[in-house]
Amino acid sequence: MKLLLLEDDCEVREHVARLLRAAGHIVDECANGPDAVFLGTSDTYAVLILDRMVPGITGLGVLKALRSANIRTPALFLTAMDSVDDRVEGLETGADDYLIKPFAGSELLARVAALGRRPPMANIVTRLIAGDLEVDLLKRTVTRANIPIDLQQQEYKLLEYLMQHVGEIVTRTMLLENVWSFHFDPGTNLIESHISRLRAKVHRGFDRDLIHTIRGAGYRLDA
């Protein structure tokens, strides 16, 4: 993998770069924030390894700049700043991992390999949107026109599945298998009752219905 390494301490930088290269990686090194921003925006890397306390622009500032430029490359902070607040701040800035110095070389290599296996963040769906209806998959929240909708667990799973198939007809069999993990029809009104409650919550207060019954076929959620 091609890696970007930001570390201002020459001895540490050379040690880490040597370790990574010995594992077969290609490493671009830099010792200050502006150089890291330049490299990070002008080349493509599999993983960013960033120290926090560096000249010019801090590691946090570097990562903020790259995220603002829509660069979603997985990032690991490799730093001596070890308090809980430091780690939380780093992760909230957009880092994917945080490793405290001093560190074991094998652990660094393992974490870099794990980050390198991740798909780019841009490819990870975190929100499902259909018109003014939105499901936040990370927070597990639902809103319509920015108004929160409180759903029970099974109602949420049902809506999530319908949102994954916007504009498509979803059959009873598809719902039983993918929402309830049933591979048989229990012969009850299980689906109908949940659809009814979901409709009431999603449609209440709005002129336009989104969830429709397709007679003899199933259900469809329209955007």
pLDDT digits (tens, 9 = 90+) for 145-187: 999 999 999 999 999 999 999 999 999 999 999 998 888 887 7
pLDDT band, very low/low/confident/very high, at 122 (cuts 50, 70, 90): low
Determine the angle formed by the axes of helices 84-93 and 59-68, rounding to 10 degrees.
20
Interval 90-102: pLDDT, tens: 888 888 999 999 9
- 7 burial class (0-12, 13-18, 19+ CB within 10 angstroms)? buried
Report whether pLDDT(138) > 80: no
- 133 burial class (0-12, 13-18, 19+ CB within 10 angstroms)? buried
CA distances from 210 to 24, 193, 202, 213 (A): 52, 17, 8, 10
Q: Edge-to-edge strand order for the sheet containing 147-149?
A: 127-130, 133-136, 141-144, 147-149
DSSP 161: H
CA atoms within a 13 Å half-sphere pointing along the CA-CB vector of 62: 33
CA 60 to chain centre: 19
CA distance 28 to 25: 10
Q: How open is the CA angle 150-155-157, to the nearest 5 degrees?
A: 115
| Confidence at residue 87, expressed as pLDDT on a 0 to 100 scale | 86
CA 153 to chain centre: 21
CA 166 to chain centre: 21
Report whether pLDDT(72) > 90: no
**What is the rounded average pLDDT for all residues in the chain?**
91
Across the range 104-109, mean pLDDT stands at: 94
pLDDT band, very low/low/confident/very high, at 82 (cuts 50, 70, 90): confident
Sign of CA dihedral 46, 110, 89, 37: negative
Q: Could you tell me whether strands 2-6 and 147-149 are parallel, antiparallel, or unpaired per DSSP bridges? A: unpaired
pTM assigned to the model: 0.57
Answer whether the bond into residue 102 is a cis peptide, omega within 30°.
Answer: yes
Which residue shows structure tokens 């301490």?
Answer: 9
